[in-house]
């Protein structure tokens, strides 16, 4: 969305399309009579007859009937106002966005009043509209040579509202920052693995750092060898592509303290290694860097909105390949932390990458840790494809995290991590840990393994294997990468910063 303008009266609209919310009993909406006068006095009859629908997210498109300054109206049903929430608004506007994308309407006006309720202000509507439309209009351009469609993007957005202009502008800026960061993360996950190598991912992070003035450090194979990062190096051994450990620092306060560490799994392709994946489950493993994308997306929002909280992002990037050099089951490796690991399964590579990345984040001063990873098929068996699985070692930090996830509407469910689980992760005849204790409840073993490197630092583990990629269109976007957790991570940092300033 390139430009924003604000008008206080419907007669001032200039747009391809005017978006109008239709709650049950629209006649209660302030200004509805004036709108009906200007559009058609029969509009309430159409609502009553069901030609304009009030059901949540139901869309009806209608051309302007006379000389209006907008060419058409897009009516979107909202249901009962008392049931409306910010998340439902976001979904309604994402549905509008999908329609705009299909119809290619570039100049869009939104009349905010019908979307407001006792709880939701015009500024809330402006935020949900910007974010929802931004997410709903997302499309991965891809590499087709026969496509003559020009890239679609919304040229101008106009709010029709008499609310405080500065607040509307701020809501637009925040919505815009959130939506574009999620869409960037989606692009990274949708990119093919021959084009998005660890080196390319690091280059992308460098662009972010330059844009937002982050400190950046990227470690290559040689630096990793010098430091003794035996876990990520083991995963990389079979590859001709060099690994990268990508470190971004956002310094918001004078001292480097109270640092939140965001750690992402950046496996740019996961063949499974010698514990090879069956051919059907290998397809799609280009998305095994979804955790890295979530962390980079969150950093983009942090760079835009600059909350007063120090953040370090650490991404372990490598692919997991096969060759005469590759690591294999039965290998014993030494991680950066010094802990030794017996490899029982080379397909349980994400936890190895994260082990060194988490250790590095701790060594760099992280006082809180969140790791995000497409870690296990187990989380999909346990929770399905619409819930992110979580583990934690700290009730208070987890509660804070959950408040952020409730705000963004990204569903997260916690699983237990018991002493018995830890015992099984620590069971090995030859090393401190093993990387694959079994398939029973193995989401817990995956995350629990990462926990072995966290120690006492408050920590949340997020397994997004089910939620990072959608097999069909969903509420907030199309099939493919979802950009899950970008919004929740950024919201958590914003909330932590706000709490500090209280
Ligand atoms: N990258 C996969 C997990 C995954 C599965 C992501 C499906 C997205 C969709 C991970 O590295 C993996 O292979 N995990 C194994 C662990 C097992 C060997 C203990 C799994 O879940 O089967
Ligand atoms: Zn794997
Ligand atoms: Zn993997």
pLDDT single digits (tens) 86-101? 999 999 999 999 999 9
140: pLDDT strictly greater than 90: yes
What are 328-355's pLDDT values in tens digits?
Answer: 999 999 999 999 999 999 999 999 999 9
Q: Measured between alpha carbons, how far is 344 from 331 in angstroms, rounded to an integer?
A: 8
Question: Does the pTM exceed 0.75?
Answer: yes
Q: Measured between alpha carbons, how far is 305 from 174 in angstroms, rounded to an integer?
A: 7
Q: Is 354 in the pocket of ligand 1 (CB under 6 A)?
A: no
Q: Is 374 in the pocket of ligand 1 (CB under 6 A)?
A: yes
Residue minimizing CA distance to atom 17 of ligand 1: 348
How large is the average pLDDT for residues 136-159? 91
Helix, strand or coil, per DSSP, at residue 307: coil
Confidence of residue 6 (pLDDT cuts 50, 70, 90): very high
Confidence of residue 12 (pLDDT cuts 50, 70, 90): confident
Strands 311-320 and 244-250: antiparallel
Q: For residue 11, what pLDDT is reported? A: 87
Q: For residue 501, what pLDDT is reported? A: 84
- CATH 3.40.220.10 domain locations along the chain: 3-160
Distance of CA 199 to the CA centre of its chain: 22
Q: Measured between alpha carbons, how far is 221 from 317 in angstroms, rounded to an integer?
A: 11
Q: For residue 44, what pLDDT is reported? A: 95
148: pLDDT strictly greater than 80: no
Helix, strand or coil, per DSSP, at residue 32: helix
Q: For residue 149, what pLDDT is reported? A: 75
Min mean pLDDT across 134-148, 264-278, 436-450 is at 134-148
Q: Work out whether the CA dihedral 302, 2, 95, 151 comes out positive or negative.
A: negative
Our answer to whether residue 487 is catalytic in this structure is no
CA contacts within 13 A on the Cβ side of 367? 8
Q: Is 434 in the pocket of ligand 1 (CB under 6 A)?
A: no
How large is the average pLDDT for residues 454-459? 98
Domain 183-501 CATH assignment equals 3.30.56.10:
no
Q: For residue 68, what pLDDT is reported? A: 81
230: pLDDT strictly greater than 90: yes
Q: Which residues pair with 316 in a beta bridge?
A: 245, 265
- CATH 3.40.630.10 domain locations along the chain: 183-501
174: pLDDT strictly greater than 80: yes
Q: Measured between alpha carbons, how far is 352 from 337 in angstroms, rounded to an integer?
A: 12
Average pLDDT, the chain: 97
Active-site residue among 186, 221, 265, 351? 351
Q: For residue 342, what pLDDT is reported? A: 99
Q: For residue 208, what pLDDT is reported? A: 98
What percent of the chain lies above the pLDDT cut of 90?
A: 94
66: pLDDT strictly greater than 90: no
Tokens of 419: 């002493």
Active-site residue among 277, 424, 426, 495? 277
Which ligand ends up closest to the CA of 436? 1
Q: Measured between alpha carbons, how far is 347 from 446 in angstroms, rounded to an integer?
A: 11
Q: Measured between alpha carbons, how far is 55 from 419 in angstroms, rounded to an integer?
A: 49
Spatial CB neighbours of 25, under 8 Å, sequence gap ≥ 6: none
Q: Is pLDDT larger for residue 68 or for residue 117?
A: 117
1: pLDDT strictly greater than 80: no
What percent of the chain lies above the pLDDT cut of 70?
A: 100
Distance of CA 414 to the CA centre of its chain: 18
Q: Measured between alpha carbons, how far is 133 from 321 in angstroms, rounded to an integer?
A: 39
Per 3-state DSSP, what percentage of the chain is helix, strand, and coil (rounded to 5)?
40, 20, 40
How large is the average pLDDT for residues 41-55? 96
Which CATH class for the 3-160 domain?
A: alpha beta
Q: For residue 2, what pLDDT is reported? A: 82
Q: Measured between alpha carbons, how far is 328 from 63 in angstroms, rounded to an integer?
A: 64
147: pLDDT strictly greater than 90: no
Confidence of residue 231 (pLDDT cuts 50, 70, 90): very high
How large is the average pLDDT for residues 225-233? 98
Q: For residue 111, what pLDDT is reported? A: 97
Q: Is 346 in the pocket of ligand 1 (CB under 6 A)?
A: no
Q: For residue 388, what pLDDT is reported? A: 99
Find the 436 Cα to ligand 3 centroid distance in Å: 13
Residue 205 is given by DSSP the state H
Which among 235, 347, 436 is the best mutation to test ligand 1's pocket, defined by most ligand atoms within 8 Å of the CB?
347
Our answer to whether residue 351 is catalytic in this structure is yes
Q: Which residues pair with 112 in a beta bridge?
A: none
Find the 272 Cα to ligand 2 centroid distance in Å: 5
Q: For residue 395, what pLDDT is reported? A: 98
């Amino acid at each position: 969305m390139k430009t924003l303008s604000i008008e206080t009266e419907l007669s001032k609209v200039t747009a391809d399309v005017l978006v109008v919310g239709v709650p049950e009993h629209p006649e209660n909406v302030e200004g509805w009579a004036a709108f009906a006068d200007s559009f058609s006095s029969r509009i309430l009859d159409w609502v009553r007859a069901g030609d304009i629908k009030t059901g949540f997210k139901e869309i009806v498109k209608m051309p302007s009937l006379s000389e209006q300054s907008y060419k058409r109206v897009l009516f979107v049903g909202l249901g009962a106002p008392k049931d409306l929430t910010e998340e439902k608004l976001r979904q309604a506007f994402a549905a509008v966005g999908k329609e705009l994308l299909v119809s290619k309407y570039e100049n869009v006006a939104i009349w905010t009043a019908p979307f407001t309720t006792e709880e939701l202000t015009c500024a809330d509507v402006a935020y949900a509209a910007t974010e929802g439309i931004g997410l709903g209009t997302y499309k991965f351009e891809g590499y087709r040579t026969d496509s003559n469609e020009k890239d679609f993007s919304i040229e101008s957005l106009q709010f029709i509202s008499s609310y405080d202009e500065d607040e509307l502008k701020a809501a637009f800026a925040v919505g815009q920052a959130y939506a574009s960061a999620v869409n960037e993360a989606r692009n990274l996950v949708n990119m093919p693995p021959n084009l998005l190598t660890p080196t390319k991912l690091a280059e992308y992070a460098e662009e972010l750092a330059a844009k937002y003035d982050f400190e950046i450090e990227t470690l290559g194979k040689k630096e990793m060898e010098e430091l003794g990062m035996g876990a990520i190096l083991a995963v990389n051994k079979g590859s001709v592509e060099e690994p990268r450990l990508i470190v971004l620092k956002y310094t918001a306060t004078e001292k480097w303290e109270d640092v939140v560490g965001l750690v992402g799994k950046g496996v740019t392709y996961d063949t499974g290694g010698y514990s090879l994946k069956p051919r059907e489950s290998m397809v799609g493993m280009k998305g095994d860097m979804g955790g890295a994308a979530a962390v980079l997306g969150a950093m983009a929002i942090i760079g835009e909105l600059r909350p007063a909280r120090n953040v370090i992002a650490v991404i372990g990037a490598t692919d997991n390949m096969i060759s005469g050099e590759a690591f294999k089951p039965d290998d014993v490796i030494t991680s950066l932390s010094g802990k030794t690991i017996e490899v029982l399964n080379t397909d349980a590579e994400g936890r190895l990458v994260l082990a060194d990345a988490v250790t590095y984040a701790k060594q760099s001063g992280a006082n809180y840790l969140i790791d995000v990873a497409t870690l296990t098929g187990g989380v999909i068996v346990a929770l399905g494809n619409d819930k992110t699985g979580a583990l934690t070692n700290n009730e208070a930090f987890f509660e804070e995290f959950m408040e952020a996830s409730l705000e963004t509407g990204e569903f997260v469910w916690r699983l237990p991590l018991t002493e018995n689980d830890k015992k099984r992760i620590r069971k090995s005849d030859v090393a401190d840990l093993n990387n694959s204790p079994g398939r029973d409840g193995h989401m817990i073993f995956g995350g629990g393994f990462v926990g072995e490197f966290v120690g006492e630092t408050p920590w949340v583990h997020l397994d997004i294997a089910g939620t990072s990629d959608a097999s069909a269109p969903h509420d907030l976007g199309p099939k493919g990468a979802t950009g899950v957790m970008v919004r929740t991570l950024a919201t958590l940092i914003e909330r932590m910063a706000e709490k500090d300033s209280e």
